[in-house]
Amino acid sequence: MKRFITTIIVISIAGLVLVACIKRDVPEKVSVKFKTPDLEEIIYPADEKNVTIDGVDYLQSQAPCGKFGGELVISTIGEGPKTFNPCNTKDATSSTMAGMMYDGLVTTNPRTGRVMPLLAKSVEISGNDYIVNLRQGVKWTDGTLITADDVMYTYKEIVFKGYGNPSAMDAMKVDGQLPDLVKLDNYTVKFTTSKPFAPFLRQLSYPIVPKHYFKPYSDKGESVFNAFLTPDTNPKEIVSGGAFKLKEYVAAQRVVFERNPDYYKINLKNEKLPYLNKLVYLIVGDSNNEILKFEAKEIDALALRGSNVARYKLKEAASDYIIYNLGPDTGTLFLVINLNSRRDKNCKPYVEPKKQCWFLNRDFRAAIDWAIDRESMVRNIASGVAEPLFTAESLNSIYLNKYIKGHPCDLDVAQKSLEKAGFVLKNGILYDSCGNRVEFDLYTNAGNLEREALGVMVKQDLENLGMKVNFKPVEFNSLVNKLTNTHDWDMAIMGLTGSPLEPHDGKNVWTSSGSLHMFNQRPAGYAIDDRFDWEKELDKIFSEGALKLTYEERKPLYDRYQTIIYNQKPIIYLYSPIRITAVRKKVKNVFPTSLSGLLYNLDEIYIQ
């Protein structure tokens, strides 16, 4: 998390000069929590340095020099990417694929969590001004220079207009106002926020795209732009600037990237990275298929499910892989309840009226929370390789509210909460005060075996209270459409990626106008019902939290938002998996961290 002071000082980060009013981007006393016992013995390379050769501003890796050539094969669960447009990604797979091809101005140091320049050579911060100095001589894959015009276009024509995924626009607003942006010269731009804004520097990680390639589509309007760079796009036509460029996409089978021979990152011998000739993502239907492919040596890395950890650990010494414990997952798994009480354009309620009465009752939601047996979930689904979760922040977040201790499953407490809300249990069947049987649908995304198993357990836990739960795994895109567009759902088991460094990244989930405010999605400008005063407080917290300039000032606010979610329970958290990953010994320059995971540095990795 960024921490500011009022005087201008100079900090050397990754050999790059970041002139800023930043004292500590992540407080020193908190950053050590990113270490886990399995990672402490790893010797990490120094951070990257700026090196200028023949007028080109390169970023020099300090990792050991490797061997050029070869391919790395990894996997992705599900159906593959929905788009290759980095501005329009709404799922983790699409975001990962686009991230291979496009870089932001800054990135996060994988070990310390502090912000460091990437496509930018440096960032100078003075008051509310952020002056970004771009690397000179860096090119897109078609040979066109990357300049300030590309930055201006990316932010002014895409981000500031809310094209693609509007979450980026929402995150950059200060009191509803977007920053000013001006071009100072061909390689320098200046952002100016209306007020000091703590999360802003991290917002500059948004992928920069080539103006000359994207603009013809954005000029035709948002719908045309959002349909740009579909998986059907000819890879040879795509202009990108990242370490890898798209070579091939075979639907439901694989995505193949090849090295960008003119990338701006170099090794200690001043040779252009990346080392790998190919980076292949095999698209696997589920985690069982993923395991089979790892055991058949078809993929080079595997995220181990809890039930498999012990077996793989026993075989490790005589195997061709190494296992790393990366610590708690940075995302969250949860049960979300539909609190939407509005109607569609045909005056039809999104949620059946009797269900609205149930879901809007805080005591009903509390009963669900008390009935869920997280310990059994950890034991039976995660095989003990997880911890129960009760907070909106992940267990490795530096903003985790440690005063929220949670509770064990207690059906007696759950039943009393239902009685308080007017529900009656007759012959093992739960009825509301009007005599309606309590019955609703529970969704999750089909093919995700962990979530499907969680759905089965939640169904059983709630049926112990006399509720009838219709568990319905559906295709991922259909589920997302229900949650964010049609709103015709009751409850769902979902997961969100997260940042352990910046709660403001969750603004689109927690603020009432947020695009992922799934538990009570409302149109822009729609007033908050008086029954949801706590939502008004969340809006205030996320507005104020972004304007506080030190970790110490922000922490109580973000503690409070977690307390509100825990008390009101629109989202009920389940558990946090411990990330255990196996990778082939032939894969070199692997420097895993609990913050960034295993293969975050694909441009430095090589095959022995």
pLDDT at residue 9, as a whole number:
19
Would strands 575-584 and 301-304 be described as parallel, antiparallel, or unpaired? antiparallel
Q: Cis bond leading into 503, ω under 30°?
A: no
Q: Is the pLDDT of residue 192 over 60?
A: yes
Assign a CATH topology to domain 332-578: Dipeptide-binding Protein; domain 3 (3.10.105)
pLDDT one-digit tens code per residue, 156-173: 999 999 999 888 998 899
Q: Say which CATH architecture domain 4-229+586-607 belongs to.
A: Alpha-Beta Complex (3.90)
What's the rounded Cα separation, in Å, for the pair 568 and 603?
44
Helices 362-371 and 411-420 sit at what angle, rounded to 10 degrees?
Answer: 170
**585 vs 484 pLDDT, higher one:** 585
Alpha helix stretches (DSSP H) within 173-323: 200-203, 211-218, 222-226, 287-295, 306-315
Q: Looking at residues 427-436, what average pLDDT do you find?
A: 96
- Lowest average pLDDT, out of 189-193, 310-314, 405-409, goes to 310-314
Task: Count the Cβ atoms, other than its own, within 10 Å of residue 161.
Answer: 15
What's the rounded Cα separation, in Å, for the pair 319 and 296?
13
Q: What SS3 state is found at 547? A: helix
pLDDT at residue 515, as a whole number:
83
Alpha helix stretches (DSSP H) within 184-221: 200-203, 211-218
pLDDT at residue 530, as a whole number:
64
**17 vs 25 pLDDT, higher one:** 25
pLDDT tier at 15, thresholds 50, 70, 90: very low
Q: For residues 422 and 430, is the Cβ–Cβ distance under 8 A?
A: no
State percent of the chain over pLDDT 70. 92
Q: What SS3 state is found at 133? A: strand
pLDDT one-digit tens code per residue, 211-257: 999 999 999 999 999 999 999 999 999 999 999 999 999 999 999 99
pLDDT at residue 24, as a whole number:
37
pLDDT one-digit tens code per residue, 260-285: 999 999 999 999 999 999 999 999 98
DSSP state of 109: -
Place of tokens 């929905």: 82
Q: Looking at residues 333-338, what average pLDDT do you find?
A: 97
Name the burial class of residue 50, with classes exposed (0-12), middle (13-18) and buried (19+) by CB atoms within 10 angstroms of its CB.
middle
Q: Looking at residues 334-346, what average pLDDT do you find?
A: 87
Domain boundaries, the chain: 4-229+586-607, 332-578
pLDDT at residue 552, as a whole number:
92
List the one residue out of 218, 180, 174 whose CA is nearest residue 197: 174
Scored b (16 or more CB within 10 A) or e, 271-303 reads ebbbbbebbbbbbbeebeebbebbeeeebbbbb
- Lowest average pLDDT, out of 101-115, 370-384, 519-533, 536-550, goes to 519-533
The tokens for 562 are 């977690």
